[in-house]
Structure 1
């Protein structure tokens, strides 16, 4: 019997096991252009890690490396290790689909399937991963994930309407619900609020705060106030004078903003450049 013929009972979101994500000496290239230089960083469970820094310093590239999206670019190359609870997700014996199921991604621009219903959008990741579930389990899963994403009360009476009919903020929370449905242990977010109004941004930030106890969260943001609001630790990336992006400083968010050790960090978080 194939996987697609199997009914699978999924555990709760995160299954109580948010993971430690760690990189060791990660460097990255696009062709001959080196974009990241030996980035070593630990992103612990039960914490939100914010990646901050000016545009072009490699934050989004680093985020994509964390769930093996970097290798989708034909000219891309990588050195170093990406460890999920101590196991390298780039080991030859590990399937790329397995890595992406455990490490989900929410993008800058909401990308629900516009013609697909809200209900089917939430479940679409299960289909992509070859997982089938009983109808009652699907109904429960949709309600659970939309609740976790802070969207259930707003859409519970129109689950069969297209996901593309939702507002931008609702679409982004639908994308979060879709990511949660496959039970990731880590959730990566690439500027998830950059295109949203303040009310929608506040809703997404509330969702992040509620989810961090169930999945490890790593977020790229250019909004320093947002980094302070949602994260417990920060890493400041910088690329200077044509050099590859690197981590200048990382540590608890409060310390990074109130008493940074590097003058460049202080200048950036206080808006003196970037």
Structure 2
């Protein structure tokens, strides 16, 4: 299948359920992620947020014994349809993990372009310098590393490494960027810089972020989805909507209790 990435941004999960072996971990999760916005997935540990995030770019299927039902629509097309190649899905929907994972011995420059080979993205050699610069600029890292692009990515600080991973994800020009607790291992200064980067990126890429930090969710997102798994039941969305409403006047009392720190 041929995909025009530039035309694709809105993401929609439809009745997604997931299992690890016989254990059901998600039940009938449906969520519309509007184009060009930041959506925060919130909820206690173990309620399926990270599993759901991995389903959105076909990482769940790599876990032995893992299965799922439902569909994930991108631009009106289900990324789990057989006509979609895995590399196409990963190119369109990028991922940044909780712990920064640059290739430590690889240079900063080569880290940024590494995703091109992994996703089969072809870029002319003459255009690579510009792509590296633009990706690092978008990730808020260019000014700090432009004079040492050939130095190892592993020599950067933790916060810089995370922004390098964001640059690597952006280099393939995804329409959606998934972020699984991207600031949990970072100090407050680095966290603030990552949040600034998220705000700057939201105009051109749809972002879905998992976070346990309620203040962060309130700061960076326009929409929130509250996940909960009660008494051994699989995870499900209790409610989703504009962040301001979820934090001030949610419909479900469990949501109000969670965002106010009464449990979780």
TM range (shorter): over 0.9
CA–CA distance in 2 between the matches of 1:264 and 1:131?
44
CA–CA distance in 1 between the matches of 2:120 and 2:197?
28
Q: Check if 1:98 corresponds to 2:92.
A: no
Shift of 1:177: 0.2
1:41: which partner in 2?
Answer: 31
Shift of 1:133: 3.0
Q: Please give the TM-score of this superposition, normalised by the length of structure 1.
A: 0.93
1:202: which partner in 2?
Answer: 192
Say if 1:46 and 1:216, in contact at 8 Å, map to a contact too: yes
1:122: which partner in 2?
Answer: 112
1:222: which partner in 2?
Answer: 212
CA–CA distance in 1 between the matches of 2:138 and 2:88?
23
Q: String of CA shifts for 1:83-140, please: whole Å, max 9, x gaps.
A: 0011100001211111010000000000000000000000001122334433331110
1:135: which partner in 2?
Answer: 125
Mapping for residues 39-188 of structure 1, pairs under 5 Å: 39-188=29-178
SS at match of 2:186: coil
SS at match of 1:154: helix
Say if 1:151 and 1:173, in contact at 8 Å, map to a contact too: yes
Number of residue equivalences: 261
Q: String of CA shifts for 1:24-77, please: whole Å, max 9, x gaps.
A: 110000000000000010001121000000000000000000000000011100
Shift of 1:152: 0.2
CA–CA distance in 2 between the matches of 1:26 and 1:131?
29
CA–CA distance in 2 between the matches of 1:128 and 1:79?
27
Aligned with 2:246 (options 256, 265, 268)? 256
CA–CA distance in 1 between the matches of 2:103 and 2:229?
35
CA–CA distance in 2 between the matches of 1:204 and 1:244?
31
SS at match of 1:136: helix
Shift of 1:18: 5.3
Query: Which ranges in structure 1 are unaligned for 5 or more consecutive residues?
Result: 1-10
Shift of 1:226: 0.2
1:4: which partner in 2?
Answer: none
Say if 1:104 and 1:187, in contact at 8 Å, map to a contact too: yes
CA–CA distance in 2 between the matches of 1:128 and 1:53?
32
Say if 1:18 and 1:214, in contact at 8 Å, map to a contact too: no
CA–CA distance in 2 between the matches of 1:128 and 1:87?
22
Query: Which ranges in structure 2 are unaligned for 5 or more consecutive residues?
Result: none
Say if 2:90 and 2:119, in contact at 8 Å, map to a contact too: no
CA–CA distance in 2 between the matches of 1:80 and 1:139?
41
Say if 2:87 and 2:120, in contact at 8 Å, map to a contact too: no
